[in-house]
Amino acid sequence: MKKICVMFRSAPHGTSKGREALDFALLSATFEQEVSLIFVDEGVLHLLKDQQSELIGGKDYLATLKALPFYDIDSVYACKQSLADFGLSHSLLSIPVEILNDETISAHLTSVDEVLVF
């Protein structure tokens, strides 16, 4: 078992990075790795609720974020500064996340075995 942190840095929909990051995270969890997710930079836009991916020909993978507890992925973090940069307050987010500042993000990244950035 390894501690794997999946970092979402890219906005949803414009590329498939977020979708393939989530695929990897869920698969890792089913293989009984200790998985954490962290949303930073444009990646925090994944957390905005009521998005309709189908309207731009996408797959609604964001709905899957709600299933994270069923995969035992309980460590879900968002960057405080990035949320502020995009004007995202807690009430606009689709899932519960723990909001971290730069120092705690750094500490988390050093505490895991591998970080995959998407």
Partner 1 sequence: MSKFIIQVNGPAYGTSASHSALRFTQAALSSGHEIHCVFFYQDGVYNTTDFNLPASDEFDIVAAWKQLALEHQVSLVNCVSAALRRGIVSEQESKENGLPHWNVGSSFVMGGLGELVTGIEAADRLMCF
To partner 1, the closest distance from the beta carbon of 115 in angstroms equals: 9
By CB neighbour count within 10 A (0-12 exposed, 13-18 middle, 19+ buried), where does 60 fall? exposed
| DSSP letter string, 3-37 | EEEEEE-S-TTTSSHHHHHHHHHHHHHHTT-EEEE
| Using rule CB under 8 A, residue 2 touches partner 1 | yes
Out of 5, 8, 31, 84, point to the residue binding partner 1 (CB under 8 A).
31
Out of 60, 85, 98, 114, point to the residue binding partner 1 (CB under 8 A).
114
| Using rule CB under 8 A, residue 117 touches partner 1 | yes
With beta carbons less than 8 A apart as the criterion, state whether 49 and 12 touch: no
| Using rule CB under 8 A, residue 112 touches partner 1 | no
To partner 1, the closest distance from the beta carbon of 82 in angstroms equals: 21
